Amino acid sequence: MSKTKNGLDFGCGATSLLSSMLEDEGIPCDYYDPIYYPDTLEHNKKYDLIVSTEVFEHLHSPKEVFKSLIERLEEGGYLAIQTQFHTNDIDTFKTWYYHKDPTHIVFFTQKSFQVLATMYGCKIVTDNGKNMLLIQKKIKKVYSLP
């Protein structure tokens, strides 16, 4: 990510630790959290990188938030999401520690994010199969006439 010009830590919580770490790597980074830092987003600012760590399971409208984050990405930019994936197996779900947190109100499979990525013109670059994935906003091709 050496070409990354700027980043956003979306849902940073009480601390802006991740954005500070990115800045230590030479990536200027904004941060936002609806409870702790609700007034830090510039309306039309675009980013090369948006990270969202352990946020999506708390969202009442994850599709709308996903869309708004993609709209904040530059073409070719990346959205990195971390949330525990479930397997869609009901017996496994019943014993899964992640759903026992009452603030976790929505759960995802890898397929959930594949559908969202496709819906909003993105592609999944990589995922670790359990809780992290990297999505890239596609670059629109521009055709010129001869």
Write the CATH number for 74.
3.40.50.150
Confirm if 121 and 138 have CB atoms less than 8 A apart: yes
Residue 46 lies in a domain: yes
Domain assignment of residue 63, yes or no: yes
Helix (H, G, I), strand (E, B) or coil at 111: helix
Give domain status of residue 93, yes or no: yes
| 113 found inside a domain | yes
Give a yes or no: residue 45 inside a domain: yes
Point out the residues of the chain with pLDDT beneath 70.
1-2, 141-146
pLDDT value of residue 143 = 63
- Structural domain range at position 97: 7-137
Residue 144: the pLDDT is 63
- As a whole number of angstroms, the distance between CA 3 and CA 86 comes to 33
Angle subtended at Cα 13 by Cα 11 and Cα 17, rounded to the nearest 5 degrees: 100
| pLDDT of res. 142 | 64
Whether 92 is in a domain gets the answer yes
Tell me, what's the pLDDT at 102?
94
Number of domains in the chain: 1
Selection from 15, 25, 14, 17 nearest residue 6 by Cα: 25
Give the gyration radius of the chain's Cα atoms. 16
In a domain, 76, yes or no: yes
